[in-house]
Chains A and B, each alone.
Chain A
């Protein structure tokens, strides 16, 4: 009895492959983020279920299914140690779909599977929103809707017809979706905060800096942010994107303070010259730092404050791509006055660390005679002597600065910034290290600046009496081209060489820039369509003072209008064909009888009346009625139509 209840009869063979296809296409975008065993379990269950249906086997027993379910849920929990968030949530959905497959017996069981696949499409969109995500979603929906029709529509519909019907209905739904998407009011603040994906590594800047610990810097070409300027793009040497500021040094690592608000920080800035206005589209960092051109004076991002070192930070981590406008001044002066206590704070060093560096600094300071001359001397030393800029420096042990300055002499920005700062602090000059990005590549197609992770940079600010905090980039002394042309081209050259490309590499570069320009527009118009963008778009459409009420009203009116249009389209689709010739011929006969057919009177009933009450002979009436009925509703209508024509012609 139980075995019978689990049996399959192959009745799902028409719909099951499509349901499986819908599941596979909606699981696919998750695969790179999933542990291998989940993908394997899903594919295994799908193949197993298909074989069961194909060979008319029985489904696994409920005991086996329960054991599998328990194992899988424990596995998910063991892998993620949590069940909230997009990562574990999607993993659970996939496991549920795999297990549901094993108990799917009836056509209607597949509803659950299709609902699950829609949720999987949704969660993949929460995870990634690339340019190709939209067409991929369209294809996924087409397959899901086809599978849905295979399951619920009539038996006689072929897979091709289901596909066409699904496509047609999606096509009807598309304008409705566009209208709703444009006019549905966007809100700024989320209802609840759920981490999008905690298992994914953060890309961006670390908030401590330990030169020497990491022995190579990742050359990720990932975009950190894009900038479009209102006016001209500043020169490369002015493109310092301020992020966070580190002030404490323990002999090995530089650390900063947690981002905090300092209401006086902005008042300490004096600006000169013309402002630079621009918009930054920042990729999610899951950190609080907000990047801006040195030095920002006004910014449009909510919940964003200036900290004590003129760095911008948001009170909530940046989980999604955001866009904000900033006004910066590249000519500025910060804190001409600094209290003695603060001077001590910014020039403190741990006792007995890096003694050779301290000794060298004191010696050079004595030779230089003034702070400014000393700074110049140190930079010249870095420039003249044999220091090399490399992204793969040897590791440094304890007293990393000593080892770097006197032994290895190879490093990247962090090494130089750290060594320079330690020398400054050794003679009591207040110093701080700024982490951020430097440079960026101009995309001539989009007219914007692309700043990549590989443009991450560290530089120093020293405080000089009368000048205030003054930017010094020791890396520029070693590798000036790093500052003047930026890192990206250098990175690209290595990339090209690594692939053995020389001439075609330019072309490849063009393709990359084109893609980037498209991607930037995609980010700006589609992904960045938030409350502000919506408001300005509404104003451009001519809506005065767009409120959510007005937008909702417009949305409802447009949707109603479109639905009416679709209704008309459907009506036309189902309109009856033009009255056929048989009906026209029959009309001659009806006229001849001199009688009026009653509503709903069938031809045969009319014939009964016509036989008695019309001038036509009963035989003629019968012949014509029979031929007419056969021609319209019968099997062999061609021959019947000929008979009808002859009979009508023979009417007296």
Chain B
């Protein structure tokens, strides 16, 4: 670890960077050559690439050494063995490529996740041929699916998990499908550039402030935000919750302070308002709103969402939750 910079580039680093550079160039070239793919595609021979693996190189070297040995000893039986090995090399090259050619891939969606979670892109791979295909794997940058085999006529969903950091629409610009079958001597692969994306909701804030107080629903009676008629579930204890509502039994069991939530006969509801949150950071506000929505959804409360440019009347349910979170995920406006 000397601080004097070496006048020569580090050879290993150089090779790595050269490889990366070359890899990028090849990928760009492939992207240009292939163009944007439709969401369902059958792999044509022209787009399945193939190169020997490390094992394949060792195998080749071994065959070469055996050829020299056979020539040296003029031993016709070891010539036979050597040529069988070389023949297997040729055959496995074609077999490896054919293992991919004709596969049908189609995008099968991706369930939305919260930022920070891995989004799982689903790709249906189907083998519309008379022979089984073995050892198929999907991969992307820093990720890969499990390896699956496909019987004749079989389709399987491959899952490609991709880490997410920020909210919004995450696109899977490029992914690959590859195989090492039959002998791991060759790796054949295809790059796919489908119009694939998934939705990433903002991450729910860990230390969100209290949600705003509940508005009167239909009011002859000023009612506490959480009516006491029907027990509806538990939520995290917030400072200010009535001690009468603390679930002491649950506390004894788990050591966690939880408050009981009640669904009143007259439904309570609350408005989550972007502008009402005392924070200057847009992302933080979205994060807080997400937390409120997630919690409210869990306790089956009605809630409404108001963000600049959009407003959803209080209600509950999966569709409502989804609409709200989607709005937050794709939120563009707002001031800093």
Contacts and interface: CB of A to CB of B under 8 A. Distances in A.
Contact of B106 (A169, A184, A192, A602): A602
Given A137-B81, A184-B79, A575-B130, A126 B87 contact: no
B81 A111 contact: no
Contacts, number: 179
A573 B131 contact: yes
Contact of A169 (B79, B81, B92, B129): B92
Contact of A149 (B129, B131, B183): B183
B128 A577 contact: yes
A559 B90 contact: yes
Interface in A130-187: 133-134, 137, 141, 145, 148-149, 152-157, 161, 165, 169-170, 172-178, 180-181, 184, 186-187
A214 interface: no
Contact of A173 (B59, B88, B106): B88
A396 interface: no
Contacts of B295: none
B254 to A, nearest CB: 33
Contacts of A177: 80, 83-84, 86-87
Contact of A191 (B58, B59, B71, B135): B71
A125 B78 contact: yes
Interface string A534-559: 00000000000000000000000001
A115 interface: yes
B182 interface: yes
B227 interface: no
Contacts of A186: 71, 74
A180 B135 contact: no
A58 interface: no
B95 A126 contact: no
A176 B90 contact: yes
B134 A153 contact: yes
Interface string B119-154: 000001010111111111000000000011101110
Contacts of A192: 72
Interface stretch (A432-440, A454-462, A522-530): A522-530
Chain B interface size, as a band, is 35 or more
A125 B174 CA distance: 50
Give the secondary structure class of A's interface: helix
Interface stretch (A201-209, A407-415, A509-517, A562-570): A562-570
B73 A149 contact: no
Contacts of A369: none
A303 interface: no
Contact of B71 (A115, A187, A599, A602): A187
A576 B128 contact: yes
A196 B73 contact: yes
Contact of A566 (B62, B90, B101): B90
A577 B90 contact: no
Nearest to B40: A600
A315 interface: no
Contact of B94 (A178, A196, A566): A566
B73 A172 contact: no
B76 A574 contact: no
Interface string B26-57: 00000000000111110000000000000100
Nearest to A152: B184
A154 B148 CA distance: 7
A382 interface: no
Contact of A134 (B77, B90, B94, B181): B77
Nearest to B133: A574
A73 B106 CA distance: 57
A5 interface: no
A121 interface: yes
Interface string B55-68: 10011001000101
7 contacts: A129-B77, A145-B183, A154-B148, A180-B83, A186-B71, A320-B73, A570-B94
Given A153-B182, A190-B72, A574-B101, 18 more contacts: A111-B55, A111-B184, A122-B82, A126-B78, A134-B80, A148-B183, A154-B136, A154-B147, A169-B91, A181-B83, A190-B71, A196-B73, A527-B76, A570-B95, A570-B98, A577-B128, A600-B40, A633-B126
Interface of B: 37-41, 55, 58-59, 62, 66, 68-69, 71-88, 90-92, 94-95, 98, 101-102, 106, 124, 126, 128-136, 147-149, 151-153, 155, 180-184
Q: Which 10 A-B residue pairings sit nearest by Cβ, starting from the closest?
A: A600-B38, A173-B87, A176-B87, A154-B149, A154-B134, A177-B83, A180-B83, A156-B149, A152-B184, A154-B135
Interface of A: 111, 115, 118-119, 121-122, 125-126, 129, 133-134, 137, 141, 145, 148-149, 152-157, 161, 165, 169-170, 172-178, 180-181, 184, 186-188, 190-192, 194, 196, 320, 526-527, 529-530, 559, 563, 566-567, 570-571, 573-577, 599-602, 633
